């Protein structure tokens, strides 16, 4: 089973580069399933129906959210129609589900969206919630378990790795928009602290730079906007799982605009036994 994971898709530039290149990448890397994080996909904040359909039509199979999941109020009706989830540690009566189940390559696959605590909305404890969820899946005999850990603090993501590395297939960090250089396979678990954004790479976390600079200089905030034109990047982790849900191969793909076209860079995961 080969899975591709794209973290935060930021606005129109993120959607466009996915639309332009994902089909080819799926064929080149023989991907069976593609996951993406939608929470910044519509103008940088949340997801609307039009952009949801656009991304799914590009070849994404399902999408996870985060702290901006509910920024577009129409998301409440989309959960029942499209393969979308929101963080599982929101209160139980929050609309939507925190886990997506499917069958891929004749194996049951569970994708879980989890959100950290530091600087995030008030949610249940992510660590106790995920242990409870993994125990439930293990009792059902499900061993192909992928987690989108949407968190600000790298310590929360790294702690999750050490808590679950022998029990889940992959822990893939999202939210900060800045890719980290620590892709690894630890005891059969694919891990990276943050995959990094897909969208504009020449601004500030995918946004136009003027407003954040003004905020840092003056302390006065304003609405962040996604630029209409920019140099874009697509970042995706590709990993392969065996029949027991253990990862034995992983790589990071960065496809970015460099002025003369698009350049593709591939980095292999380190292996920690």
Catalytically active residues are: 68
Query: Exposed (0-12), middle (13-18) or buried (19+): which is 24, by Cβ within 10 Å?
Result: exposed
Q: At which residue do the structure tokens 């992928």 appear?
A: 146
**Longest Cα separation, the chain:** 56
Cβ 47 vs Cβ 76: under 8 Å: no
CA distance 58 to 98: 23
Query: Exposed (0-12), middle (13-18) or buried (19+): which is 117, by Cβ within 10 Å?
Result: middle
């Amino acid at each position: 089973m080969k899975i591709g994971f794209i973290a935060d898709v930021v606005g129109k530039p993120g959607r466009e580069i996915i639309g332009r290149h994902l089909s080819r990448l799926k064929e080149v890397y023989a991907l069976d399933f593609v996951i993406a994080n939608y929470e910044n996909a519509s103008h940088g904040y949340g997801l609307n129906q039009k952009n949801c359909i656009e991304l799914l039509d590009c070849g994404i199979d399902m999408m996870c959210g985060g702290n901006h999941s509910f920024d577009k109020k129409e998301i409440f009706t989309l959960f029942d129609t499209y393969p979308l989830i929101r963080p599982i540690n929101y209160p139980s009566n929050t609309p939507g589900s925190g886990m997506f189940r499917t069958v891929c390559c004749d194996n049951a696959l569970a994708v879980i969206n989890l959100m950290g605590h530091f600087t995030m909305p008030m949610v249940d404890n992510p660590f106790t919630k995920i242990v409870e969820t993994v125990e439930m899946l293990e009792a059902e005999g499900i061993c192909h378990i992928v987690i989108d850990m949407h968190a600000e603090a790298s310590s929360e993501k790294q702690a999750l790795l050490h808590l679950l590395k022998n029990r889940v297939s992959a822990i893939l960090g999202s939210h900060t928009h800045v890719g980290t250089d620590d892709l690894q396979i630890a005891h059969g678990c694919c891990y990276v602290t943050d995959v990094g954004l897909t969208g504009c790479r020449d601004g500030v976390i995918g946004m136009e730079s003027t407003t954040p600079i003004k905020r840092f200089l003056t302390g006065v905030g304003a609405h962040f906007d996604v630029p209409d034109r920019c140099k874009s990047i697509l970042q995706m982790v590709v990993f392969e799982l065996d029949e027991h849900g253990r990862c034995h191969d992983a790589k990071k793909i960065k496809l970015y605009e460099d002025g003369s076209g698009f350049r593709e860079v591939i980095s292999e995961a380190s292996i920690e036994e």
